[in-house]
Structure 1
């Protein structure tokens, strides 16, 4: 094992990257439909999404029958993208990677000599050595699509643009004209999707409605996307061009969180915990992780790392469930609590239990939706009251990567530690909490920003972080939960 969390062995999977000239071109429809169609054709497909998007992977997961995962070099570093890809593709023969925004769009404000912006779809495609299929919204395009494709094909010599899928094509004649234009620049048309009314998945203020919330309608939407792609895309051609020559070991959650000099994951007795950096040893602490419709924003690797370090992870739904028996630590990930505030507020027993446990010192890790759940109220609905602030919905979307520094010691981070995170919300706290801020960074105007709360054993913030980039935080949290469990009869 190694300290960067890279273990041994993985099925090598060929990959295609689904990109577009701009947002709104139909990447999610094509990527989800392609995952479903290839799965239906007998392939074992690993689904991925570029960047910190939590919603698209939910639809990918429905199509693939396995968790959708993220590849984000901004949050985890370029060195972990290939190992995380190999881990997520284990047991699969093909991977479909949906891009983010336009092909070359990435983190804004960073200076690079590379044409592909940091964190862009092109950046990830180059890290994987995977070919790019460009989804072009054909509405309003005719012969000039050739110039568009020529520009995207030649802008960065390190990106292999291997083919085109035309989307929202108006007629057979329109299709003929577009195909001829693609042929002029030497790009094969791998599929041509007609304009269909009612196919798009419903959206709201932060994008698509998560698959968990959309329920049976999400399954129906994925089936419709699968049928569309299966009927209009040359799957054999897609499979033939797929490749990803990345080599080396896969990322391993146990290797990531355990001290490699004394790691004993293969021999660790069932029911015991050993986290050598923090001296944890004893019964496995129960970590309750919020799920359900209100808490859908999270990374699959988070649960895997918690379990690898020795926690027993129990997912529960705060909309109607009680806190799981013997909970010694609580994880409240991101999501849409503002859409479910009334139902969350109605589960008064859980709110009281969470508030009491937080006051007693139970470790709590809350991100975005989790922060809102801990406030006194959201949109007038009374919630846990652990954080002495109220939240309301705003008109401005707060979105972007942050280079943050921990301002206080907490159950996750030590003061002074630096981390890259991502904000994505339209709610805001009406008044600043009295507790010390969890994070600090400089805004685009150069002014210092203090955000979140770090008090007692509670760490609550709008900032989303990727656990694969911060294994020490996972170790500390499980260690704190184990200590809490030993010190008292757990909640």
Structure 2
């Protein structure tokens, strides 16, 4: 069985308008009656939630640095098929600039170009032409020739100032033999709201469905939708090629209690789907609704998210905190990033007010003194853990602004990590009794 046609929607740099274009195309093609599969290059929790809202289906992360090629192809296959047939189209949103990644083996740099090359999907290039006209063609030519593995299907111009501006940029680009398939004028009416870790989460935006419809109408009005669909190409991977036992991460327990609400929303669908395929039972609960982890579960997992925006409510969630402490007396608890902070002694919000947290781990955390920590991480477990034996390797990333204050008697480390640039290995996270946590977000087993 061949895969359905697909496109990687990428750009020469961040901030070019990839997300708006991707969401508009996803919703517009879905409104035409097509079944649209969705994917996101690289480590990102927020964009896939918008993809799901736009298409009605889960979106999958595809990461060439953290994922072995066979896993990446298997996840692409999952995005390309419904329960009983192939989707009509797969749209994969790139990350940063098309070729931006880290040092790594060929095809394993984390760049969007790696995903396009491995899967055989051509690239629809979103080009911000503000402040330039014919010079945009030089940028497009560079993208078209920089990596021979990558095929540019066409360009979409964004932030076009006038008909003359559009004509000058389009004629220069098309003289290269690359079609211009759309031109989006400048607009301030459909911007997506942002905060410190990126876009405001999809579930927090009132009237999101209407907003997606406006984005779709805007994109469809200024793009040649038939030409874009024609330029999509079938990938050179086979659907269903790697089915169930292949998963990004083995389940850490049989029955897993998972916090899920707007404070704990950073959950990779491919991790959860893999756990389900391998037979784990997932039980969701809401700390913000003052729900404790279900006592009949074998392990509690607190994902990342935005607990710093809800620190007062979490500190007042007495049933949740008491239930979490009771759970940790006999069963494992693990927190990633935001979840890690809730397991600590306190969480200080950006105004400088400290809120008491679960107290299961030693550090206290603060957003009053912020420092950005960002990048891929290669980790090895410091000791045997539900996630693996001592020394087991995990690949993932950090993206947080919080600072941590270690206690006088530091906890044992959760893992030892180094970055993708060959940095010195450092201890990461905390472990105390059955409770563990770290700023490290797992993408896949190493």
Which residue of the other structure, out of 408, 411, 415, is the alignment partner of 1:435? 411
- The question of 1:390 aligning with 2:390 is answered no
Give the unaligned 5+ runs of structure 2: 349-353
Alpha-carbon distance between aligned partners in 1 of 2:334 and 2:51, rounded to the nearest angstrom: 27
Alpha-carbon distance between aligned partners in 2 of 1:51 and 1:235, rounded to the nearest angstrom: 26
Q: Report the CA distance shift for 1:217/1:365 in structure 2 as closer, same or farther (over 3 A).
A: same
Alpha-carbon offset, residue 93 of structure 1: 1.7
Alpha-carbon distance between aligned partners in 2 of 1:167 and 1:219, rounded to the nearest angstrom: 23
Alpha-carbon offset, residue 257 of structure 1: 6.2
Q: Report the CA distance shift for 1:446/1:50 in structure 2 as closer, same or farther (over 3 A).
A: closer
Look up the match of 2:95: 100
Q: State which drifts further: 326-335 or 301-310.
A: 301-310
- The question of 1:458 aligning with 2:435 is answered yes
Alpha-carbon distance between aligned partners in 1 of 2:75 and 2:241, rounded to the nearest angstrom: 5
Contact 2:3 2:238 (8 Å CA) reproduced = no
Residues 409-465 of structure 1: per-residue CA shift (max 9 Å, x gap)? 112121111222211111121125732101113466844411112343323111111
Which secondary structure state, in structure 2, belongs to the residue aligned with residue 73 of structure 1?
A: coil
Equivalences for residues 71-470 of structure 1 within 5 A: 71-91=62-82, 92-107=87-102, 110=103, 114=106, 118-214=109-205, 216-250=206-240, 254-256=244-246, 286-323=255-292, 324=294, 326-360=296-330, 362-379=331-348, 380-393=354-367, 394-431=369-406, 434-442=410-418, 446-467=423-444, 469=445
Contact 2:3 2:239 (8 Å CA) reproduced = no
Contact 1:73 1:80 (8 Å CA) reproduced = no
Contact 2:259 2:303 (8 Å CA) reproduced = yes
Pairs aligned (count) = 432
Over the aligned positions, Cα root-mean-square deviation in angstroms equals 2.3
Contact 1:168 1:195 (8 Å CA) reproduced = yes
Alpha-carbon offset, residue 219 of structure 1: 2.9
Which secondary structure state, in structure 1, belongs to the residue aligned with residue 287 of structure 2?
A: coil
Residues 240-290 of structure 1: per-residue CA shift (max 9 Å, x gap)? 1111332335366741369xxxxxxxxxxxxxxxx9x99x9xxxx542211
Contact 1:59 1:218 (8 Å CA) reproduced = no
Which secondary structure state, in structure 1, belongs to the residue aligned with residue 372 of structure 2?
A: strand
Look up the match of 1:21: 12
Alpha-carbon distance between aligned partners in 2 of 1:176 and 1:390, rounded to the nearest angstrom: 57
Alpha-carbon offset, residue 356 of structure 1: 1.6
Residues 178-211 of structure 1: per-residue CA shift (max 9 Å, x gap)? 2111111111111111111132111111111111
Which secondary structure state, in structure 1, belongs to the residue aligned with residue 362 of structure 2?
A: strand
Contact 2:39 2:62 (8 Å CA) reproduced = yes
TM-score (norm 2): 0.91
Alpha-carbon offset, residue 353 of structure 1: 0.7
Alpha-carbon distance between aligned partners in 2 of 1:122 and 1:366, rounded to the nearest angstrom: 32
Contact 1:84 1:250 (8 Å CA) reproduced = no
TM-score (norm 1): 0.83
Contact 1:411 1:458 (8 Å CA) reproduced = no
